[in-house]
Amino acid sequence: MPTIVIVDDRVTNRRILSRLAGDLDDNILVESFADPLEALSWLGEQPADLIITDFKMPQMDGAAFIHELRQISHCRDIPVIVVTAYEDKSFRYSAFDAGATDFLTSPVDHKEFRARTRNLLTMRAQQLLLAGRAVTLQKNLEKSNRLHRVALRESEENFRLVINSIPAMVSVVDGKKSYDFINNFMAWSLGIDPAMAQDQTPADLLGADAGKRQQTIDDEVFENGLTPPAFEEKLVDQTGAERHLLTVKTPLKDTTGKVTNVVTTSVDITERKTAEIALEAQRNLLRQVLDLDPGYVLTVDKAGRVRLANQSIADAFGVTPQQLVGRNLSSIMPVADEGRALLSDINAAFAFDTAQRDVERTLTTADGRQHWVKLAIVPFDDPDTKERRALLVGMDVSTLKEAESAMHDAKLAAELSNRSKSNFLATMSHELRTPLNAIIGFSQMISGQILGAIEPPVYKEYATDIENSAMHLHGIISDILDVALIESGKFSLNEGSIDVATLFDSLGRLLRERTEQNDIEFSWNVMPGTPALHADEQRIKQVLMNITSNAVKFTPPGGRISIEAKGSEAGAVHVLVRDTGIGMAEDEIQIALDQFSQVQSGLSRPYEGAGLGLPLSVALLDMHNARLDIQSGKGAGTLVTIMFPKERSMPQRTSRSV
């Protein structure tokens, strides 16, 4: 059962590394220590197959720990992985100098951890197998040499059989720096017969450069008798494919402790290396994408320290992205209040564990200019460390803010101009109505012949025409005055209870003569259960007159107009005005709703009006919190629906049909 020892003073790291180690295989035994001295004491009594240690520990750093470890006789060849931060190269080199086998960068990549530890456990097993078999064979050879030379040859064959069964490149060089043996796997990889390697040097089989590197390391092993750190190298096999190898060299010693041979074991890690290269390429691509993004992107931890930053946010602060990493936001931002506000938003995202979107904050850049930035703040778990972090993605909206400010100023100016227009219209309407009332009064007196008969009789018709024209003009001026009062905010409602049936009767009497003159069928109906209305009766009647007058105006002879009132399921009053007139297209409906606009038509009759009827009706209904909807189509007639809110309904219920 393989044993893995974890040495790290931080409990979180020990748990993560222990869990990862335990997940490698069900038969793996994991021992973890916070104190390197306790670990050394335990290792002095117990065997281990792999040791994983942190470098920075308060009691003893990684280099000192490894140095002391290598003083224990049965621990000299145990593979040791040192965990260091990516930038801590000096620490890593110190660890290697002390006898470390491999390293991992913190935070630890889980896939890389599994690949490296499995490879080292495999090599350790092979080392133990080789060392055990070598020692056994060496003892057997010594004994057999004294007993019989045949036994020695049999032992050698057994040794070769074991080595040749290993799916790794295994070779043995002697003190003359030439090969005593290469296994079948290595011979296949080089495309040669194993016997051809006898007495050949590494340079002969591997080439000048690779051979020189191998011989240099072999010389060091012969000299100091220590196992050097595992290293990676490349080899082009017989198929022409480039293979990545993880190589370990182990000294073989005689009974006097002298190094007689160096065993080299190389495991093919091409798949792992390919995955590492692909992962690094993905990281570089992501980095480029982030740096090309004109928006601001950074991640922070719960303490407010920057963990990742793109080029845009770094440029804003006049530094590089690397210079931002590790610094607190409050120390980066030139304006302290801005930093505190942003940290407050980040803390809110952490506290509520939900994304904070459309957060708008000011950001003062290194050049002293203040910008408006819109941010999204999203909390997430770091996949490697499981640490809670926040992703901030922002964009500069200063130009948009300036446009909004300009639009607001323009709106205020337009509203001021509109109020001036409304005041002018109100004043002019009042001034026009005074003489107009006199014209209407005198024309009525003349047409009614109040002071006696008029000769010739045609004068009476003239007076009637004057009265009708004046009344039409009076209506237009009244509409203009109402619009002006509504826009200026001086219009008020005189609300009370309205019986809808009575209102329809009054409206019917006013419209009956006009509809009969134009040969239009006119009807009205109040459905049973229709509530009474709480509203301004005069203004609601004015709205209905405007809508029905338009219906009469645009309905040809032989057509139909109907008015219907009913209660909705929610208890609100709805009024529907239908006609079979010429109808309107979608764009013409909007024209009809605009002030002083008219839908032109060949069927328009005299006294078309000023185009204020529908806009005024909509404004009056808005004051009642009611809504007007128009459905129409060319040649398909028009349906106008008035929907009062439920709050306008009263208990009284009436019904009537005419």
Ordered DSSP codes for 294-329: SSEEEEEETT-BEEEE-HHHHHHTTS-HHHHTT-BH
Query: Would you say the C-alpha torsion 152, 158, 162, 164 has a positive or negative sign?
Result: positive
Q: Which stretch, 24-28, 32-36, 404-408, 444-448, has highest mean pLDDT?
A: 32-36
Helix (H, G, I), strand (E, B) or coil at 41: helix
Nearest to 128 by CA among 181, 174, 74: 74
> Could you identify the residue written with the tokens 């010594």?
142
Helix (H, G, I), strand (E, B) or coil at 640: strand
Is the pLDDT at 145 greater than 70? The verdict is no
Confidence of residue 476 (pLDDT cuts 50, 70, 90): low
Interval 248-305: pLDDT, tens: 999 999 888 899 999 999 998 988 888 888 888 887 888 787 777 788 899 999 998 9
pLDDT at 603: 43
Rounded CA gap, 543 and 536, in Å?
11
Q: Report residue 289 as tokens.
A: 């994408």
State mean pLDDT over 345-365: 89
Q: Check: CB of residue 413 under 8 Å from CB of residue 468.
A: no
Nearest to 276 by CA among 119, 427, 382, 396: 119
**Residue 473's Cα: distance from chain center in Å?**
61
Nearest to 540 by CA among 619, 594, 486: 619
Query: Starting from the edge strand earliest in sequence, which strands make up the sheet with 356-364, in order?
Result: 306-309, 296-301, 388-396, 370-381, 356-364
Rounded CA gap, 477 and 547, in Å?
18
Rounded CA gap, 357 and 355, in Å?
6
| More confident of the two residues 481 and 345 | 345
Nearest to 603 by CA among 627, 582, 625: 582
Interval 196-222: pLDDT, tens: 888 888 888 888 888 888 899 999 999
Torsion angles phi and psi, residue 656, rounded to 5 = -165, 145
| More confident of the two residues 181 and 461 | 181
Torsion angles phi and psi, residue 253, rounded to 5 = -120, 150
- Three-point CA angle 223, 226, 231, nearest 5°: 105
Q: Check: CB of residue 623 under 8 Å from CB of residue 486.
A: yes
pLDDT at 278: 86
Domains of the chain: 3-108 (3.40.50.2300), 161-275 (3.30.450.20), 293-396 (3.30.450.20), 402-488 (1.10.287), 496-657 (3.30.565.10)
> Could you identify the residue written with the tokens 């590492």?
276
Helix 89-98 to helix 62-70 angle (10° resolution) is: 10
Residue 301 CA: distances (Å) to CA of 29, 327, 391: 34, 11, 9
Q: Check: CB of residue 571 under 8 Å from CB of residue 531.
A: yes
The H or E element containing residue 645 is none
| More confident of the two residues 641 and 471 | 641
Write the Ramachandran bin of 236: left for phi over 0, alpha for psi from -120 to 50, otherwise beta: beta
The amino acid sitting at 59 is Q
Q: Check: CB of residue 267 under 8 Å from CB of residue 168.
A: yes
The amino acid sitting at 338 is E
Residues, the chain: 658
> Could you identify the residue written with the tokens 């904070």?
356
Beta carbons within 8 Å of 425's beta carbon, 6+ residues apart: 480, 481, 483, 484
Residue 42: burial class (beta carbons within 10 Å; 0-12, 13-18, 19+) = middle
Helix (H, G, I), strand (E, B) or coil at 463: helix
Question: Rounded to two decimals, what is the model's pTM?
Answer: 0.36
pLDDT at 418: 64
Beta carbons within 8 Å of 566's beta carbon, 6+ residues apart: 526, 527, 530, 573, 574, 576
Is the pLDDT at 607 greater than 50? The verdict is no
Confidence of residue 601 (pLDDT cuts 50, 70, 90): very low
Helix (H, G, I), strand (E, B) or coil at 379: strand
Nearest to 155 by CA among 172, 131, 138, 171: 138
For the chain, what is the largest distance between any 2 Cα atoms, rounded to a whole number of angstroms? Answer: 165
Confidence of residue 605 (pLDDT cuts 50, 70, 90): very low
Q: Which residues pair with 560 in a beta bridge?
A: 521
How many C-beta neighbours within 10 Å does residue 63 have? 20
What value does the mean pLDDT of the chain take?
Answer: 83
> Could you identify the residue written with the tokens 């009497």?
509
Query: Would you say the C-alpha torsion 352, 358, 361, 363 has a positive or negative sign?
Result: positive
Interval 150-179: pLDDT, tens: 655 676 677 677 777 778 889 899 888 888
Residue 422 CA: distances (Å) to CA of 85, 427, 539, 543, 590: 73, 9, 20, 21, 22
Beta carbons within 8 Å of 281's beta carbon, 6+ residues apart: none
Rounded CA gap, 175 and 184, in Å?
22
pLDDT at 602: 42
Beta carbons within 8 Å of 358's beta carbon, 6+ residues apart: 374, 376
Interval 299-327: pLDDT, tens: 999 998 999 888 888 888 889 888 989 89
Q: Report residue 441 as tokens.
A: 């009064």
Confidence of residue 577 (pLDDT cuts 50, 70, 90): very high
Percentage of the chain surpassing pLDDT 90? 20
Interval 116-143: pLDDT, tens: 888 988 888 887 787 777 677 778 777 7
Residue 477 CA: distances (Å) to CA of 404, 423, 430, 607: 37, 14, 8, 13
Helix (H, G, I), strand (E, B) or coil at 604: coil
How many C-beta neighbours within 10 Å does residue 229 have? 18
Is the pLDDT at 535 greater than 80? The verdict is yes
Half-sphere exposure of 217 (CA within 13 A, CB side): 22
Is the pLDDT at 566 greater than 90? The verdict is yes
Half-sphere exposure of 273 (CA within 13 A, CB side): 13
The amino acid sitting at 149 is R
**What is the chain's Cα-based Rg?**
48
